[in-house]
Structure 1
Amino acid sequence: MGVLGTSALATGCSGTQSRPTAATGTTPSTPAPSATTDTPAPPPPAPTPTPTWDGQVKVLGDGSTSYTGPQPKQPTPEKLKPGEKPPQFVVFSWDGALEGDDRMFSRFRKLGVENNAQMTFFLSGLYTLPKSRSTLYKPPQHKPGDASIDYATDPHIKDTLEQLRLAWQDGNEVGTHFNGHFCNAKGGGEWSTEEWKSELDQAVSFVTNWKTNTGFKDVPPLPFDYTKELVGGRAPCLEGQKNLLPAEKAAGFRYDASSPGEFQVWPVKKEGIWNFPLQMLPYPGRSTQSLSMDFNFLANQSGNTTTGDPKKYDTWEKETRESYLAGFERVYNGSRAPLFIGNHFESWNGGIYMQAIEDVMKNVCKREGVRCVSFRQVADWLDAQDPKVLDQLRQLDPAQPADWSRLVR
């Protein structure tokens, strides 16, 4: 169930790169004071909030999704107080989000719970569509049913739905990785905005109609309204953001995570949407840097193969772990810009990239001032800040210690 093929090595998402320079209610009227007494009238009763949820599961559409109330574990974003140091946000994100035979989805979901980490899972819509119904997928510039990833088996679809349900209940975000994972020729980089709109609409349809498409009778609905839950995505191979952004904006997205190779700086908006790029991180022992994604470490270390020399696995794992930690330390002790990390549920090079991520999560997520969160939570926090303060933060070099009393007023 590979998510990225070796063809992605030709794209801009791989290889070592140099540093790029309210409650509602009614209040009864207050009676007029009595003419025969000085006793003040009692205060009016407090308004009664209008409930937004009655505690009952509301099944949506064909029963594939539901509304079960507000998502647990979602912190209220707070505006920085004068002189306050920003939190150090770290986002672990996962492309594809398929629970396969290696059980990596469940492994990292449990690790997140154990380490106070909420994450973003970018779900490929095809992982909820059985191969027997593959022609329901009409990919842009390709024949119906075509895809560059494998369709999931029925047991894998059931396992994935179960993990998505548990992940959301743990406070994680379910975004989109779209559908067919087409790269290079006739891939997302060549799609028009209208074609991206079609790809996005189909991704939503597959998730919200999996019960009809699969015929499953024994699987409960996902516990969220995906049409409202879905507020961001990452394009396969990080291709096509220019034409994708207008499609995402039309769908009400709040962020996009498809931009590659940017430095560790505080985010800006593109087309009115927060741009959350993968980032250039220090590469141990080299003067260059590497993109903050497992596939790119693989490309630097073993080239076109996902099964490189086992004698080098320990060294490559150490390089990957130290690169992530060096990127973290640079901003944790400097600008406090968020750190964005991308991953796949894969056992490339003996699973060394999965182990490196586990080690990093255990190392950083419980440190003072660190918040391991989803992309949506970062967007929530940024939207709560004074734009002038964010402008000041963007002027900082990643490793530059800041005078927070001067920057945050």
Structure 2
Amino acid sequence: MPSLSRVIAFSLASLAAAGAALADPPAPAEPARPKQVVIISFDSARDISQWKRSRALAQRTGAHFTYFLSCVFLLSPETRGQYAAPGKTAGKSNIGFAASRQDVAERLEQIGLAAHEGHDIASHACGHFDGKDWSKADWLTEFASFEHILENAYAINGIAPEPEGWRDFAHAVAGFRAPYLSASKALYEALPAAGYQFDASGVSKGPALPPTISGITRFSLPLIPEGPKSRPVIAMDYNLYVRHSGGFDRPSKADEFADRTYQAFRAAFNTQYQGKRIPLELGFHFTLMNDGAYWNALERFAGEVCVKSDVECISFRDYVSRRDGSQKQATVGG
């Protein structure tokens, strides 16, 4: 007959084994969080120095940008007659034209380099007119002008040689942002008819996931809190310029404005980074408002966040391509 101690030991072992069998299974591992996406874009894309500065920022941080190009900056004073906006006579533009044939050549070079480096070249139309009252046909005319001028820019201006693949690249532009962010029903009817894939003319109350409607992914610049009272402002340099100095340059306060801008960008980023990780969109121009305050804030911001392993600073086209599995923009010059 087994001893009492052996029975007790066996019973304890059995209970332990049963307890192990009945214990809750280990909790499943937390799903990996998506990377925080930041989408930085530039409107009009005129000044050569700012092309170079933005590309250098991208090289330092690993970012890819979207450049919304105004096609009038591919026309010299001698070739400006190639463009006629809806309802306007030929050679008219709200933002002027390129300074010279050489200016066009240097800009074309920058566009090609940016495209080759993986940046997104998109359309900001041509003459920067407010198209809120344009018809679908008017918009299609403007889109056709943009495509024709971009595709034929070398030939129109008598610049040689034209890089290999340039026309394929020009024909494949997929994105658009309306001047003045002036969107309309007619614009959204024209965009898919012209073969575009995304539009970035919207404004939202905060960072928002872009819906796709009638084949067009619609992005929106968010309102973000800014300044001592955290009042909302569109996350674009021009809107901050108007907020800070009424649209007039105050270079003596550039450092203050740059810091306010950086703090607003960083707070908006942190909210998403620590929260739902909705993409954050930020918009800029090549104009150095308030002595470059907003570019200084951008460089500080991008230098801190775009280098993070769980952050991606990508273009609008990158975002749409990854989601849809579509092709990236054609390269220029091999």
TM-score normalised by L of structure 2: 0.84
Higher strand share: 2
Partner of 1:206: 149
Letter of the aligned partner of 2:224 in structure 1?
L
Which residue pairs with 2:122 in the alignment? 175
Q: Where do 1:3-402 residues align within 5 Å?
A: 83-100=31-48, 103-152=49-98, 153-182=100-129, 187-218=130-161, 220=163, 223=166, 225-305=168-248, 307-308=249-250, 310-383=251-324
Q: Which residue type is aligned with residue 207 of structure 1?
A: L
Distance 1:240 1:378 in 2: 21
C-alpha distance in structure 2 between counterparts of 1:91 and 1:105, whole Å: 17
CA distance in 1, matches of 2:137, 2:193: 11
Residue 291 of structure 1: CA displacement? 0.6
Aligned pair count reads 296
**1:241 and 1:258 in contact (8 A); partners too:** no
For the Cα contact (< 8 Å) 2:208–2:220, is it kept in 1? Answer: no
Contact 1:135–1:144 at 8 Å: present in 2 too?
A: yes
Kindly report structure 1 stretches of 4+ aligned residues shifted beyond 4 Å: 221-224
Where does structure 1 lack aligned partners over 5 or more consecutive residues? 1-81, 385-409
Return the alpha-carbon distance in structure 2 between the equivalents of residues 217 and 170 of structure 1.
22
Give the Cα–Cα distance (whole angstroms) in 1 for the partners of residues 191 and 226 of structure 2. 33
Shift of 1:132: 1.2
AA at the equivalent of 1:86: P
> Is the helix fraction higher in 1 or 2?
2
DSSP 3-state at the match of 2:281: strand
CA distance in 2, matches of 1:107, 1:321: 18
Give the distance between the partners of 1:206 and 1:94, measured in 2 at CA. 20
User: What's the % identity of the aligned pairs?
Assistant: 31
Q: Deviations over 1:138-187 (max 9, x none)?
A: 101222111001110222211111111111111111111110001xxxx2
Assess if the C-alpha contact under 8 Å between 1:158 and 1:219 holds in 2: no
Q: CA-to-partner distance for each residue in 1:294-335, whole Å, 9 max, x for gaps?
A: 000001011132x22x33221111111111111111111111
Partners of 2:207 and 2:288 in 1: CA distance: 27
Q: Would the aligned equivalents of 2:262 and 2:297 in 1 still touch at CA under 8 Å?
A: yes
